[in-house]
Amino acid sequence: MSGEQKTRTPAARPRGPMRGGMMGRPVEKAKDFKGTLKRLIDYLKPQKFRFMAVFLLSIVSTVFSIVGPKIMGKATTKLGDGILAKYIHYLQLEYAVQKKLPAAIISKLQLQPVPRIDFSYIGHIMLLLVGLYIMSALFSYVMSYIMAGVSQRTVYQMRNDVKDKLDRLPLKYFDARTHGEILSRVTNDMDNIATTLQQSLTQLITSLVTVIGVLVMMLSISPVMTLIAVVTLPVCAAITSSIAKKSQKYFADQQKTLGQLNGHVEEMYTGHKIVKAFGCEEDSIKQFEEINRNLYNAGWKAQFMSGIIFPALNFVNNAGYVLVCVVGGLMVAKNKIEIGDIQAFIQYIRQFTMPIVQTANIANVIQSTVASAERVFEILDEAEEVPDKENAAVVKSPKGEVTFDHVKFGYKEGVTLIEDMNIDVKQGQTIAIVGPTGAGKTTLVNLLMRFYEVKGGEIRVDGVDIRDMRRGDLRTMFGMVLQDTWLFNGSIRDNIAYGREGATEEDIIRAAKAAHADHFIRTLPEGYNTVLNEEASNISQGQKQLLTIARAILADPSILILDEATSNVDTRTEVLIQKAMANLMKGRTSFVIAHRLSTIRDADLILVMNHGSIIEQGSHSELLAKGGFYADLYNSQFTGANLENEAVG
């Protein structure tokens, strides 16, 4: 197939700065959280041994990291004992001198060795800590490496399943949805799942292990101080919850206003010529300023509310540290714990609160991820095309004879669009299809290409029911040149060669000459190597159409489907396109969707459609002689044109 409609896919919406944290936008939730999560876990099952390895490595890495503060506390205690002993020695000596104790006592104190800090012991502790942290980092690296493989393999399989599913979905699925919506599910939602599996899931495991491990270590030091540390958590949760409730409203307003601003800017940018032509610049600027002002008001409130949460939490945490230090100091004085235990405990508090906050945020991320997975699974659950028959019929040398035999069809159940269509097209005939918008012209083409299945009757190509053929084999018989061209980002040579696999340079040039495109191609700086940009805006509309015709000529189809392709082009290019299409149609069965009736006077058969039914059929002269619907359409076009010419004259 050669020419297809090119649809602009709207850019995906930019994501916010936060993926679903407690201060961000409201978290999108899945309709069936448990069911979707179970299906997502099913995708992880083939990676279960790697996942178990990740879990074990996470435990080992976290244990090494957790033990560190306790061991460091031993070094702190030893350092404190050495300093204290040294201070006591000097104190005793000073006391003896001040009190003028006997010289023998003073001499004895002076001769006693000054206590020293056991730097050898502390050095061994430092080396042990370095070893522990290196091991922890090593295990963490291996864990991340394995988890990257787990997430990518899982998402790789999901992408393959989605791609295969999209290949099997009928055209009605794509007609009922915007391209942007489908693209968002295949890209944004899939990326969201991959990111969560890669980062958030690992972080969740590590956070849970850290919380449990740290809690055990804190209890081993002092249950009383642990109670003080744990009491601060509900206070932090209450502060977070109250601020988050207020900030959610402002964040929602911010996102809504940001969407309005983006929409206004895009609208004004795409239509800037019209805005200037009608002198509406000032109105546009005023509207922008109003939206921008609303965005400022919503934005600073949202950022302020989210900004005060950390100072509030720091205040509560610092109050907790003070209480721990006071209680810990009293316990050290009573020799219930060592001074190094206080230092270790404060480190554990810092390690304890952060994973809890992270876990709360990750819970929101998982909610969002499951919602993304649900949208992906919705694609996988869609009803598929009727599968091709195993022993499908093959038309080896297609002639192009087409028969519609009592065809019945409707897009919706219970609503019939085509009631009883009967057409008999011979090889090489040109069939024109005319009618007002919504008459069913495109529907006929969709049925012929088997994009939709008929509800009754049958369509035969060369005597074979198209339902008995593979869709791929059927569609290779057709070439399409539509009013809206489709060219991809690549060279002109590649765009023409798209019509037939393995086409040689001679084949491409021959097709371009037959389409009257060779001349303009050679006038371009790079000739056939000229690269078309994404919108193919570096060539004219008429030149685009000539390339799609060349592509169709190269494909050498038995049957053509042509949507009148000469609109919005200059007169000279229109003549070239008509000549190219005449070359393309030679010896081929052609279905022409006609908009300008002057172009189909020589058609072998004209089908006049209205409300899904063929209400008239015959040659141009026969239909004019009938004086029916076609005659009214034809006369309305040409009477209007003649009146306009007379007025000009």
- Average pLDDT (325-335) is 82
Dig out the tokens for 96 from the structure.
Answer: 């003896």
Nearest of 144, 131, 143, 123 to residue 68 by alpha carbon? 131
Q: Considering the entire predicted model, what is its pTM?
A: 0.65
Helix (H/G/I), strand (E/B), else coil: 537: coil
What is the rounded distance in angstroms from the CA atom of residue 210 to the CA atom of residue 354?
10
Q: Which amino acid is at 120?
A: S
Residues 290 and 196 in one domain: no
pLDDT of residue 5: 38
pLDDT of residue 536: 66
| pLDDT band, very low/low/confident/very high, at 75 (cuts 50, 70, 90) | confident
Q: Is the dihedral of CA 466, 469, 470, 475 positive or negative?
A: negative
Residues 196 and 244 in one domain: no
Instruction: Identify the weakest region by mean pLDDT among 10-24, 191-205, 270-284, 338-352.
Output: 10-24
Residues 55 and 183 in one domain: yes
Residues 185 and 80 in one domain: yes
**Do the domain assignments include residue 491?**
no
Backbone angles phi, psi at 157, to 5 degrees: -65, -40
Residues 50 and 185 in one domain: yes
pLDDT of residue 319: 82
* Residue where a domain stops, chosen among 303, 336, 369: 336
**Do the domain assignments include residue 508?**
no
Dig out the tokens for 397 from the structure.
Answer: 């040398």
- Greater confidence (165 vs 563) lies with 165
- Confidence check: pLDDT of 90 > 50: yes
| pLDDT band, very low/low/confident/very high, at 6 (cuts 50, 70, 90) | very low
Q: How far is CA 565 from the centre of its chain?
A: 34
Residues 149 and 267 in one domain: no
Residues 100 and 70 in one domain: yes
| pLDDT band, very low/low/confident/very high, at 22 (cuts 50, 70, 90) | very low
Q: What is the C-alpha R_g of the chain?
A: 39
**Do the domain assignments include residue 481?**
no
- Greater confidence (436 vs 360) lies with 436
What is the rounded distance in angstroms from the CA atom of residue 458 to the CA atom of residue 449?
13
Helix (H/G/I), strand (E/B), else coil: 623: helix
Q: How far is CA 179 from the centre of its chain?
A: 12
Under a CB-based contact definition with an 8 Å cutoff, are residues 431 and 603 in contact? yes
Nearest of 471, 478, 435 to residue 450 by alpha carbon? 471
**Do the domain assignments include residue 160?**
yes
Residues 285 and 329 in one domain: yes
Under a CB-based contact definition with an 8 Å cutoff, are residues 434 and 634 in contact? no
* Residue where a domain stops, chosen among 311, 336, 361: 336
Residues 203 and 231 in one domain: no
pLDDT of residue 421: 82
pLDDT of residue 433: 86
What percent of the chain stands above pLDDT 90?
2
Residues 241 and 187 in one domain: no
| pLDDT band, very low/low/confident/very high, at 14 (cuts 50, 70, 90) | very low
| pLDDT band, very low/low/confident/very high, at 649 (cuts 50, 70, 90) | very low
pLDDT of residue 313: 76
SS3 of 311-343: HHHHHHHHHHHHHHHHHHHHHHHCCCCCHHHHH
| b/e burial code for range 603-641 (CB count within 10 A of at least 16 → b) | bebbbbbbebbbebbbebeebeeeeebbeebbeeeeeee
- Average pLDDT (280-297) is 88
**Do the domain assignments include residue 435?**
no
Residues 355 and 307 in one domain: no
The domain in which residue 123 lies consists of 31-221+350-385
pLDDT in tens, 350-399: 777 777 777 777 777 788 788 888 888 888 888 888 888 888 888 888 88
* Residue where a domain stops, chosen among 385, 409, 442: 385
**Do the domain assignments include residue 362?**
yes
- Average pLDDT (289-310) is 84
**Do the domain assignments include residue 546?**
no
Residues 249 and 286 in one domain: yes
DSSP per-residue string spanning 419-450: EEEEEEE-TT-EEEEE-STTSSHHHHHHHHTT
Q: Is the dihedral of CA 530, 535, 537, 541 positive or negative?
A: positive
Here the CATH number for the domain that contains residue 174 is 1.20.1560.10
The residue written with tokens 């004895």 in the block is 108
**Do the domain assignments include residue 483?**
no
What is the rounded distance in angstroms from the CA atom of residue 446 to the CA atom of residue 458?
14
Region class of 40: left (phi > 0), else alpha (psi between -120 and 50), else beta: alpha
What distance, in Å, lies between the first and last C-alpha atoms of the chain? 45
Q: What share of the chain is helix, strand, coil (3-state, %, to 5)?
A: 65, 10, 25
pLDDT in tens, 164-205: 888 888 888 887 777 777 887 888 888 888 888 877 777 888
Provide the strand spans (E) within 271-401: none
Enclosing H/E stretch for 471: helix 471-475
For 600, which DSSP code?
Answer: G
Dig out the tokens for 105 from the structure.
Answer: 């006592």
- Confidence check: pLDDT of 44 > 80: yes
pLDDT of residue 438: 67
Structural domain total, the chain: 2
